[in-house]
Structure 1
Amino acid sequence: MSENQSLKEKTAKGLFWGGFSNGIQQLLNLLFGIFLARLLTPADYGMVGMLAIFSLIASSIQESGFTAALVNKKEVTHNDYNAVFWFNAAISLSLYLLLFLCAPLIADFYKTPELIPLARYSFIGFFIASLGISHSAYLLRNLMVKQRALSSVIGLTVSGITGVTLAYFGFSYWGIATQSIVYVAVNTACYWHFTRWRPSLQFSFTPIKEMFGFSGKLLVTNVFNHINNNLFSVILGKFYTEKEVGYYNQANKWCGMGQLFISGMINGVAQPVLTKVSDDLERQKRVFRKMLRFTAFVSFPAMLGLGIVSEELITITITDKWYSSISIMQILCISGAFTPIAYLYQQLIISKGKSRIYMWNTIALGIILLSGVLLVHAHGIYAMLAVYVSTNILWLLTWHYFVWQEIGLKLRHALIDILPYAVIAATVMVITYYSTRSIENIYLRLASKIVLAAALYVAAMWGSRSVTFKESIQYFIKKKPHEP
C-alpha cells in the first residue's frame, strides 16, 4: 500500500470514527444531561459554571501545549513522552495546591461562600487529567482515533450514571462536580489501557526545553481560548446571579454538544494529517480545502438545525423551567456554525509550526471579546451575546489572512468552499421554520422540523451535485475513500 493511499485511508477512518464517536458521545451527553437538568436547578449549574474557567485555565497550564508539540515533532522517543508525563504531573500538583489555597478568594470574588469546598473538590479533576496527557498524545500522533473514541464513550457512560445517581439522591451541584472528576479518571485509565507506552522513573527535562518554544505559545493560546469561551460565566457570575449563569451554561452546553460533534470529527485527524503533508504545499492546500468543504457541509445544517429545534428540544427534554435558555441557545448556534471552520484554520496554522501566530491571534481576539462584552454588559445578556457572536464570526477573516500567508489559499476560493453550504442550510432552515410553525403539537412539530430539514438539505445537495455529499455517501456504502 502506498504512503498516499495509507494516509487517505487513515484520514477517512479517522473522520468516520471521529464522527461515530462524537455522535455517541453527544447522545450520551444528551441522555444524561436531560436527567440532570430535570433533577437540578439553574442555580446548581451556575455554581459549577462559575468555577469552570479556573479549572480550564489550570488544565491548560499543566498541559502546556505539549500534546500538539509531541504530535508535530518529526521523531518522538520514550524520553520525550516521559519528560512530558513527569513535568505535567509536577505542574498540576503545584497548581492544585495553589488553587486549594485560593478557593476563599474565588468565593469572595463571586460573593458565594459555598464555592470554597466545591472549588477544592472540583479542582482535583485537572490533576488526574495530567496523568493521561502523554498517553493521549501517543494515541493522537498515531491516529488511534478508535481507541480515543472508546475511551470517551466509556468515560461518559460511567460518569453520567454517577452524576445522575448523586443528583437523584439530593447531592445537587456536588453531583455535577463528581461527574466531571469520574469522567476524567475513567478516560485517563482507558488511555493507559490502550497505549503501549509507560512512564519510567528515570527522566530528564531536556526534551521539555526543546519543545517549550513551540508548546509555550500554545499554552498561552489555550489559556486565552478558555477565557474567550467562558467570558459569560465569569461576567454573569460577577454582575448577575447563579440563575443567569445556569441558563447560559445550559444553552452553551446544548450548543457545545453540536460543535463538539463536528469539531471532534476532525479533531483526531486534522493536525496530524496536515502535518504529514506539510512538505508538499499544493497537496496540503488540496487536503485542507477538502476538509474545509466537509466541515462546512456538516457544520451549517447541524448547528442551524439545532437552533430551529431548540424550543421543542429544551421544553420536551428538560422542561420549561429552562425556557430562558432557548433564545440564548439560538444565538449561540449561529456562532457555533462557524466555530468548527475557525478550528480547522487554527489546526492548519499549528501544523505549519506557527504557534506564535496562533497565540497572538487568539490573544487579540480575547482582548476584543472581553472589552466588547464588558462595554455592553449593563445592557443585558443579549447585547453581550450580539457582540460575542458577531466578533467571533468576523474574526474568521483574520484567521484566513494567516492561512493565505501559509498556503496561498485565496479568500475567494475559501468562500467558494464554504458559502454554498451556509446559504443552502440557512435557506432550508427558514423554509422549515415557516412550514412547521403552525403545528401545535410540540412532539409532532419537532419531528416535522427534523424530517423536513433533513429531506430538503439532502435534496439540495443531490440537486447541486455536491462532490462532498456524494463522496460521503459513497464512503459509507462502499467504505472506499477517494483521493483528497
Structure 2
Amino acid sequence: MTEQVKTNTLFSIIWSILSKWGSKLIGMVSTFVLARLLTPADFGIIAMATIVVALLESLTQAGLNLYILRYKEHDNRVFNAAWTVGIIQSFVIAVPLVVLAPFIADFYSQPVLTDVIYCLALVRVIQGLNNFGIIIAQKEMNFKVDFVLTIWTRLSYLAATIGFAWYLQSFWALVIGQLVSSIIGCLLSYFIHPFRPKLSLYNWQDMLKYSKATVPLSIARYINNQADVAIVGRVASAQFLGVYHIAVNLAGLFTKELLMPVIRGLIPNLSVLRESANFKDILLITFAAAVYVFLPVGIGLSLVAEEFVPVFLGDKWLAAIPMLQWFSLYAMIGGIMMFFSEQFLVMMEKEVVSNRLMWARNVILITTILITLVYLDVSHLPKMLFFSVLLALPMVLVSISRELEISLQRILGSWWPALTGAVVMFVVLTFFPQLHWPLFFVLLLKVAIGGICYLATIILLFVVRGRPENTLESLVINKAFGYK
C-alpha cells in the first residue's frame, strides 16, 4: 500500500469517525434532554411509526450507495441513475405509507399514528431528493463533506426537537424535528457539493441485478433489528414500548454504532487493501479492534446501568435499567456479528453468504421471541435476546473463518487479551462497594476504574508476552509511545 493510499485511508476514516460520532453525540444529548421533557409513551408512539417506515425501506432497499462505492469508474451517468432510483424508492415507500396509515393506526390502536405516518412519508420523499454528490464525495474518500452535512443536519434536529418539546410537551416535537432536519439536510447537500444530478435510468439493469442480492439482506437485517420492537409494539403498551425502544437504542448507540464510521472509512479502500500481501493480518487486526471496543463498552454499560439511567434519563425511566443491562450485552455480541458477517462479507462480494447467515440468525431470533411470549413474559425478552445472539455467534465465526480462509484459532487467539481484560473489569465492578455519593460521581468513578482495569490488563499482557508484532496492541502502543 503506497503512502498516499495510507494517508487517504487514514483521513477518510478520521472524517468518517468524526461524522458518525459527532452525530451520535448530538443524538445522545437530544435523547437525554427529550427523555426529561417527554414521556415514555411519546417515544413509544414514534417507535410504532418508525417500525413501519423501516419495514418499507427494507423491502425496497437497493443498496446503491455501496454499489457506487464498489463501482470502479467515475461516471456521472451512473451517479444520475443512482440518484433517480433513490427518488423512485422514496416514493415507493411514501405512497404505501399514506395509503396504509389509517390501517396501521388501527392495528396499534393509536388513531394519532395516521397523521404521524403522513409526516414521516413526507420526510422520506425529501430525503430521497438529497444531492447524490455526498455519496460521490465518499467514493473519493472526501468524508469532510459528509461530516459537514451530518453535523448541521443533526444540530437542526436537536434545536427543532428540543425547542418544540419544551413548547408542545408532545411527541409531535419528534416529528417536527425530523421534518426540519430533512429539509435543511436536502438544501445543504446541494450547497456543499457541486454535483447537480439529473433524471436518468442509465445502466439500470446492472443496478437491478445488484439489488436482487442486497434486498434479501436488507429484509433480513430489518427482521434482525426490528422484529422484537414490532412485536412489543403490538402486545405491550406505548409506555412499555417507549422504555424498551430507548433502552435498545442506547445499547446500540454505545456498541454497534461505535465502529460503523470505521467501516464507512474502509469501504472505499477495500480494493486496495485486498491487494496487500498482508491482507489477512489486516483483517485479523480489524476484527480484534472490533472485539477490543465492543467488550468493555457492552459489559461496562451493563454494569453501570443502575447509575446511568437515573443520571441521564431521569427517575421516570427507571424501568429501563434491567432492559439496558441485558440490551448492552445483546448489542455487544450482535455488533461483533454485524461487523463480521454483514459488512465485511458484503464488501468482499460475498452477499449470498451474508444473506444465509442473517436468515439463519433470524430463525434463532424469531424462535426465541416466540418461546419468550408463550412460556415467559415480554419483560424477559431482553435477557432472552442476549442468549439468542450468544447461540448464533459460533455459527457466524465458523462461516467467517471458512469464507475468509483464516483459521478459527487465529481469529479467537487475537481476542484473549481483551477477554481477560473484560473479566478483570467485570470482577472489579461487580464487587464495587456501595457508596453514598451522588449517582453522577459514582458513575464517573465506576467508568474510570473499569476502563483503567481493562486497559491496564491489556497493556500488562502485551508487555509480559514480549510486545509481539502483528497485533492490535503493537499497532496502537508502538505508534503511541514510539516503541520499535
State the TM-score, normalized to the length of structure 1.
0.90
SS in 2 for 1:366: helix
Query: What is aligned with 1:273?
Result: 269
- Larger CA deviation: 286-295 vs 53-62: 53-62
CA distance in 1: counterparts of 2:264 and 2:180, whole angstroms: 23
- Larger CA deviation: 7-16 vs 372-381: 7-16
- 1:253 matched to 2:257? The reply is no
How far residue 477 of structure 1 moved from its aligned partner, in angstroms, is 7.7
Q: Please say if residues 425 and 454 of structure 2, whose CA atoms lie closer than 8 Å, have aligned partners that are also in contact.
A: yes
Query: What is aligned with 1:231?
Result: 227
Indicate which of 442, 449, 453 corresponds to 2:450.
453
Indicate which of 10, 15, 18 corresponds to 2:16.
18
Query: What is aligned with 2:294?
Result: 299
Indicate which of 154, 164, 188 corresponds to 1:156.
154
Q: Please say if residues 67 and 133 of structure 1, whose CA atoms lie closer than 8 Å, have aligned partners that are also in contact.
A: no
**Counterpart code for 1:396:** L
Query: What is aligned with 1:176?
Result: 174
Within-5 A mapping of 1:298-447: 298-345=293-340, 346-378=342-374, 379-447=376-444
Indicate which of 209, 213, 217 corresponds to 2:213.
217
**Counterpart code for 1:90:** I
Change beyond 3 A, Cα 1:292–1:473? same
How far residue 475 of structure 1 moved from its aligned partner, in angstroms, is 5.3
Query: What is aligned with 1:49?
Result: 47
Q: Please say if residues 67 and 134 of structure 1, whose CA atoms lie closer than 8 Å, have aligned partners that are also in contact.
A: no
How far residue 305 of structure 1 moved from its aligned partner, in angstroms, is 1.7
How far residue 100 of structure 1 moved from its aligned partner, in angstroms, is 0.2
- Larger CA deviation: 262-271 vs 436-445: 436-445
Change beyond 3 A, Cα 1:189–1:430? farther
CA distance in 2: counterparts of 1:214 and 1:470, whole angstroms: 39
Change beyond 3 A, Cα 1:304–1:337? same
How far residue 111 of structure 1 moved from its aligned partner, in angstroms, is 1.7
Change beyond 3 A, Cα 1:258–1:212? same
How far residue 283 of structure 1 moved from its aligned partner, in angstroms, is 3.2
Change beyond 3 A, Cα 1:166–1:433? same
**Counterpart code for 1:394:** L
The CA RMSD measured in Å over matched residues stands at 2.5
- Larger CA deviation: 445-454 vs 415-424: 415-424
- Larger CA deviation: 57-66 vs 296-305: 57-66
Q: Give the fraction of aligned pairs with identical amino acids, expressed as a percent.
A: 19
- Larger CA deviation: 393-402 vs 147-156: 393-402
CA distance in 2: counterparts of 1:61 and 1:208, whole angstroms: 18
Query: What is aligned with 1:284?
Result: 279
Q: Please say if residues 93 and 124 of structure 2, whose CA atoms lie closer than 8 Å, have aligned partners that are also in contact.
A: no
Q: Please say if residues 60 and 89 of structure 2, whose CA atoms lie closer than 8 Å, have aligned partners that are also in contact.
A: yes
Change beyond 3 A, Cα 1:182–1:263? farther
Change beyond 3 A, Cα 1:135–1:308? farther
How many residue pairs are counted as aligned between the two chains? 475
Provide, for residues 9-36 of structure 1, a one-character-per-residue CA deviation record: whole Å limited to 9, x for no partner: 3333333333333333332222221110
SS in 1 for 2:198: coil
Change beyond 3 A, Cα 1:460–1:392? same
**Counterpart code for 1:237:** G
Provide, for residues 31-79 of structure 1, a one-character-per-residue CA deviation record: whole Å limited to 9, x for no partner: 2211100010010000001121221233344541111111122224111
Unaligned runs of 5+ in 2: none
CA distance in 2: counterparts of 1:254 and 1:91, whole angstroms: 29
Change beyond 3 A, Cα 1:454–1:75? same
Q: Please say if residues 63 and 215 of structure 2, whose CA atoms lie closer than 8 Å, have aligned partners that are also in contact.
A: yes
**Counterpart code for 1:85:** W
- Larger CA deviation: 432-441 vs 67-76: 432-441
Unaligned runs of 5+ in 1: none
Q: Please say if residues 303 and 333 of structure 1, whose CA atoms lie closer than 8 Å, have aligned partners that are also in contact.
A: yes
CA distance in 1: counterparts of 2:6 and 2:442, whole angstroms: 41
Q: Please say if residues 224 and 363 of structure 1, whose CA atoms lie closer than 8 Å, have aligned partners that are also in contact.
A: yes
